């Protein structure tokens, strides 16, 4: 979010899109023809943009004819929205992957994603392997091969004796490994981002939802939540079966001492020379598996009027004025409709202690 100085003539409350197409600012050229712009920001997927334009002059079928892979950079400028001044939201960089025409009247819809469609990270199926490798090293190799900037924010750098990639894309492989390690993968504006949601959930809220909510819903799901995870592993070096159990303090929305164990057989190699070192590693695996199962125990969906503060997936927010549902939540997806500047937000309640 960028705050800009306010000019003397900029006195009316309004919002406007700033659009660079292949590096050229076309904002003024298309300002009167924009029907809608919808931006979707998801915590563990690539972001998407859907720009719908009226094409009275037939430019988008003629000299402006778009190509798949064209780059669009989009910002949203708020003037005097909640207080005097100009605030700029950077939506990011997108690459056109779908183009639709319809009429009459002539309308063009440009859909884009936050990763270059010529990148091989999602589509190219590969066969290769790594020996004695960490998940961060695998991510570094994939980011380098895909010309992406790697950003990491996690503590548990899982170690593998051997990793095999068998006819799967780099993105599919990384998603699979990161899911097992309790790490979230995100593609955004030519960046490959890996982070632990638990680290984010420990942060203080950056925004409070208490009023201006147009509608809301809360859900409590028992389908796949547990009070603990019991992990079993046979150590061929020590020639013995190792079992450990990781417990939560309390399952969200349950009475105390409501027990339901998740059983997990772990057959990969466990690093460590002593039984204690192996135990600590296995407990980290159990903890992350339990978190993955329990994290959607309490979810929320709400719609609000657009805010001056730019909200993004992975932001930690506070929900207030909803009784027992009050507390810290993490945004898992936010869809912004710029025709009326409103947010549709999906959240889940933050887990405590693990």
pLDDT digits (tens, 9 = 90+) for 232-253: 988 887 788 888 888 887 655 5
pLDDT at 264 over 50: yes
- 5: pLDDT confidence band, cut at 50, 70 and 90? low
Residues 22 and 100 in one domain: yes
**From CA 48, how far away is CA 51, in angstroms rounded?**
10
- For the chain, the maximum distance between any two Cα atoms, rounded to a whole number of angstroms, is 79
User: How far is Cα 74 from Cα 9, in angstroms, rounded to an integer?
Assistant: 24
> pTM (2 decimals)?
0.89
User: Are 237 and 106 within one domain?
Assistant: no
**Which domain-ending residue is among 264, 292, 320?**
292
Kindly state whether residues 109 and 27 are assigned to the same domain.
yes
**What is the mean predicted confidence (pLDDT) over 28-46?**
93
Whether residue 262 is found in the same domain as residue 314: no
Q: Are residues 183 and 318 in the same domain?
A: no
The count of domains in the chain is 4
Distances, alpha carbon 222 to alpha carbons 123, 152, 260, 296, 323, in Å: 36, 32, 11, 9, 20
Q: Is there a contact between 322 and 20 (Cβ–Cβ < 8 Å)?
A: no
Mean pLDDT of the chain: 88
188 and 102 in one domain? no
Query: Do 211 and 302 fall into the same domain?
Result: yes
For 11, 16, 78, 112, the CA distances from 34, given in Å and listed in that order, are 22, 10, 17, 16
| CA–CA gap between residue 281 and residue 268 (Å, rounded) | 12
With 80 as the cut, is the pLDDT of residue 63 above it? yes
Domain that holds residue 193: 125-198
Interior angle at CA 246, CA 242 and CA 248, nearest 5: 170
Same domain for 96 and 47, yes or no, is yes
* pLDDT score for 8: 41
Q: Which residue from 288, 236, 286, 234 is spatially nearest to 261, judged by alpha carbons?
A: 286
The reported pLDDT for the residue numbered 183 is 92
């Amino acid at each position: 979010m960028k705050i800009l100085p306010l000019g003397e003539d900029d006195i009316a409350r309004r919002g406007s899109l700033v659009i660079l197409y292949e590096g050229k600012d076309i904002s003024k050229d298309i300002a009167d023809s924009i029907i809608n712009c919808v931006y979707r920001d998801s915590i563990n997927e690539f972001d998407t943009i859907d720009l719908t334009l009226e094409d009275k002059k037939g430019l988008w079928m003629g000299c402006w004819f778009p190509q798949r892979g064209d780059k669009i950079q989009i910002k949203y400028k708020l003037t005097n929205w909640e207080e005097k001044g100009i605030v700029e939201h950077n939506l990011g960089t997108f690459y056109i992957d779908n183009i639709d025409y319809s009429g009459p009247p002539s309308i063009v819809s440009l859909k884009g994603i936050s990763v270059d469609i010529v990148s091989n990270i999602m589509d190219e199926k590969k066969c290769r392997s790594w020996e004695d490798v960490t998940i961060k090293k695998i991510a570094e190799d994939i980011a380098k091969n895909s010309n992406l900037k790697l950003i990491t924010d996690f503590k548990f750098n899982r170690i593998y004796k051997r990793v095999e990639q068998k006819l799967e894309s780099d993105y599919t492989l990384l998603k699979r490994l990161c899911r097992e390690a309790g790490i979230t993968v995100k593609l955004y504006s030519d960046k490959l981002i890996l982070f632990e949601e638990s680290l984010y959930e420990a942060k203080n809220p950056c925004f409070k939802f208490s009023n201006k909510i147009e509608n809301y819903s809360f859900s409590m799901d028992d389908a796949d939540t547990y009070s603990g995870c019991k992990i079993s592993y046979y150590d061929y070096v020590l020639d013995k079966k190792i079992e450990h159990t990781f417990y939560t303090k309390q399952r969200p929305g349950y009475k105390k001492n409501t027990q339901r164990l998740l059983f997990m057989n772990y057959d990969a190699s466990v690093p460590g020379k002593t039984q204690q070192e192996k135990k600590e590693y296995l407990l980290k695996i159990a903890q992350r598996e339990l978190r993955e199962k329990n994290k959607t125990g309490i979810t929320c969906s709400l719609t609000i009027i657009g805010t001056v503060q730019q909200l993004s997936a992975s932001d930690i927010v506070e929900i207030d004025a909803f009784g027992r549902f009050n507390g810290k939540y993490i945004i898992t997806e936010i869809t912004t409709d710029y025709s009326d500047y409103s947010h549709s937000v999906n959240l889940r309640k933050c887990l405590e202690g693990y």
